[in-house]
Amino acid sequence: MFMLKRGVCQARPQLRKWALVLMFFCLIKICAFDVRMLGRELLCSVNDAMGAGGCDSMRRLQGLQVLALVVLVAGSLILFQISRVYANAKASMTKPADVYLSLWSNASLICVSMMVIWQCAPWVGFLTIGYVPHIFSDVPWQWFAIFNLCLLLGSFWVAESCNWNYEVKHKKRMAHLNSTWTQRDTLWMCVFIYLATLALSYVAHDVLTSGGTRPLER
């Protein structure tokens, strides 16, 4: 999706083509494997809940195969329509201010910083008062990680609307590239901090809870 958006916003036909090709192969993989595997797991769960036992009903499995084929055909038609719609797309001259990219980058930086603070707080509590406050188990760090992941993806999606390739003929329109540090640089810095914090979060969680088996104390 990011490749497709960049290909549309920057009017790059080859990038759009490869993006659609990758999406088509992903669609084939989803319909050939994921739909069948997920459907089979759901059938197992339903049959176990009903006490029927087993999940290899041939009729139901054939229904899943038909559903996967329908999804494949419908998805292929959608991709073909997208290709037609953006066949003559022109390069976008959108500025970061037009899409409020500064707001998105600042929000990402603040939320990632909050995740760092929330991850460091249990250590501070353990070293100062001797135990980890129970609030850190009531509001686990995984919530911050999921929220920040969605926020960063949304921020980069907004950033793709802007053209970051400097062109002399659009000098006034692209004056934001004259800055040493841009909002996109802030987003990449947030990604680095997020990944480092995410890696340390798993280690800290195992250490503070003895491998995740000992509950946090009040």
| pLDDT over 70, % of the chain | 72
* Every domain of the chain and the residues it spans: 2-85, 96-208
pLDDT at 105: 93
pLDDT tens digit sequence for 26-50: 988 888 888 777 777 776 666 665 5
Q: How many whole angstroms separate alpha carbon 155 and alpha carbon 183?
A: 10
pLDDT at 215: 44
Q: How many whole angstroms separate alpha carbon 68 and alpha carbon 85?
A: 26
DSSP 66-95: HHHHHHHHHHHHHHHHHHHHTTT-------
Residue-averaged pLDDT of the chain: 78
> Is the predicted pLDDT of residue 126 greater than 90, yes or no?
no
Residue 26, number of CB atoms within 10 A of its CB: 12
Helix (H, G, I), strand (E, B) or coil at 20: helix
pLDDT tens digit sequence for 158-178: 988 887 665 656 666 666 677
